[in-house]
Structure formats: C-alpha cells, structure tokens
Amino acid sequence: MTGVLTLYRSSIGKKVIMAVTGVVLVGFLIVHMYGNTKMFYGPQVFNDYAAGLRDLGHPIFGHEHLLWVMRVLLLASVVGHIWSATVLTMQSQKSAYARGVTKVKRYEKKQRRTGYAAYTMRFGGVVIFLFIIFHLLNFTFGVAGYSAGEYIGEQGGVYNAYNNVVRGFSHPLVSGFYILAMLALGLHLFHGVWSAFQTLGLNNEKYTGTWRAVAMLVTAIIILPNIFFPIAVMSGIVHL
C-alpha cells in the first residue's frame, strides 16, 4: 500500500494514473460505440438496449445496480485522469516558465520536430471534457440541445432513446459539435493510446510501430462509427 503512495507521489506515478484511467475510458468508449450501432436496427432494438443497460447483470445484480457500479468507476476514472493531467501540467508549466526578470518573454519560438497530436493533448482534453458535459445534458438529461417537447424521458420503464437521438442529431449545431468533439477525441486517442504503453513501460523501439498501429486501430474503431451516427441521422438513413 505504501508502495502505491510512493508511486503516486512521483510525477511518473501520476502519469501511470492517467494511463490506467485512460485505458478504462477507452474500454468504455469501445462498448459505447458498439451500443450505438443498435440504432440501425430501429427504435425497438435501440430502446430495448437502453432499458437493458439498467438490468445489466440480471439476475445477479438488481435493477440499475451494475450500471451504477460502472458509472462510479467511470466517474472515478475521469476525475483521476483530469486531476493527474492538471497537477502534471502545472508542474511542467512551472518548469518551462522561462521569462526574464522584466517579465518579457525571454525566447523566440521553439522549433517543433515531432507530430501534432502530442501537442494537442491538453487542449483536446478540455474539448473532450466540455463535450462530456454537453453530451450528458443533451442525451441523458434532455436539458440542452432540444426544442421544447422533443426530448421524451422514461415512461414507466420504457425508454425513448431512439427518438431522443434522432431528434437530437437533427439539429445541425448539435451534430456539428459532436463531430468536432470526436475529431478532438481522435487526436487525443491516437497519441494517448500509444503514450499509455510508453508510460506503463511496455514500449521500446521494437514494439513502438506495433503500438502506433494499435493506437491507430483503436482510434478508428471508436471515432469512425461515432462520426457516422450524426451523419446517418442528418442524411435520413436513421429516421423516426
């Protein structure tokens, strides 16, 4: 136990938290993406899926019990991830803060020799965070992104998720933001998944190509379908 605390106190330990929570979130995103594909089978299947989530693990787990376990796990992961990212970002900015005594910026622009994705992790992370909040307000609570009367909540154990997704994505602004956020998430994942292998000490020159390919594949599996859902609604492939 003290070992975990020693690890946590070091900067590398906080990176390990980011990597582990990141991998949990990636797992969630893959399952979530798969769940979304049920919209192509029509309202019945999609709404049953929404209801089924509440009875996950039935009959071992009671109504919504396992769902809550997962929600708590996800929330803890998001909090742990953002917390570590914030602490480490502050540490890094302090170290990189090189200004003259006059408070003028001391330096000319630095040259950049490596890829783009790694540089967008923090900004991309903020975009993803804002997206998560909007996403919950929108599809989960129905308080943002709808015209009056469009969103239909639970009616005696029946869920209208299909109606809500189709109505929601019929708003071009909602769909547009959704697609932009997915592009940001894609960049984040492309660097992040590879980075997690490096952080956990599982990378070296022999495997780095493989991990880059895995990162690319994971990103494509999550992002391409997710971008297709709003497009499918707007082009009428998925309709009420």
Partner 1 sequence: MKLTLNVWRQKNGGAPGAFKTYEAPHVSPDMSFLEMLDVVNEDLILRGEDPIAFDHDCREGICGMCSLMINGAAHGPVRGVTACQLHMRSFSDGDTITIEPWRAAPFPIIKDLATDRSAFDRIIQSGGFISASTGSAPDANAVQVPKNFADLAMDAAACIGCGACVAACPNASAMLFAGAKIAHLGFLPQGQAERSQRAINMVSQMDAEGFGSCTNIGECSAVCPKEISLDVIARMNRDLIGASLKGVEPTGVVAVPAK
Would you tell me which residues interact with partner 1 (CB under 8 A)?
2-4, 6-7, 10-16, 88, 91-98, 100-102, 104, 106-115, 118-119, 121, 191, 194-195, 197-205, 208
- Using CB under 6 A as the binding rule, whether residue 199 contacts ligand HEM is answered as yes
Q: Which does 92 bind (CB under 5 to 8 A by kind): ligand HEM, partner 1, none?
A: partner 1
Taking the complex as a whole, the smallest distance from the CB of residue 110 to ligand HEM amounts, in Å, to 18
Neighbours of 57 (CB within 10 A): 12
1-30 residues in contact with ligand HEM (CB under 6 A) are 15, 18-19, 22-23, 25-26, 29
Q: What is the CB-side half-sphere exposure of residue 36 using CA atoms within 13 A?
A: 22
Pull the structure tokens for residue 175.
Answer: 């769909």
Q: Which does 128 bind (CB under 5 to 8 A by kind): partner 1, ligand HEM, none?
A: ligand HEM
- Backbone φ/ψ region at 236: left (φ over 0), alpha (ψ -120 to 50), beta: left
Phi and psi at residue 155, in whole multiples of 5°? Answer: -125, 95
Cis peptide before 59 (omega within 30 of 0): yes
- Supply the DSSP string of 96-114, one letter for each residue: H--B-TTSSB---PPP--S
Q: Which does 38 bind (CB under 5 to 8 A by kind): partner 1, ligand HEM, none?
A: none
- Using CB under 6 A as the binding rule, whether residue 129 contacts ligand HEM is answered as yes
Angle (nearest 5°) at CA 25 between 20 and 26: 95
Tell which residue, 240, 196, 193, 195, has the closest CA to residue 221. 193
CB 215 within 8 A of CB 189: yes
Q: Which stretch binds ligand HEM (CB under 6 A): 147-155, 157-165, 175-183, 190-198?
A: 190-198
Our CB check for ligand HEM shows the closer of 29 and 56 to be: 29
Taking the complex as a whole, the smallest distance from the CB of residue 221 to partner 1 amounts, in Å, to 22
Interface with ligand HEM (CB under 6 A): 15, 18-19, 22-23, 25-26, 29, 78, 81-82, 85, 121-122, 125-126, 128-129, 132, 188-189, 191-193, 195-196, 199
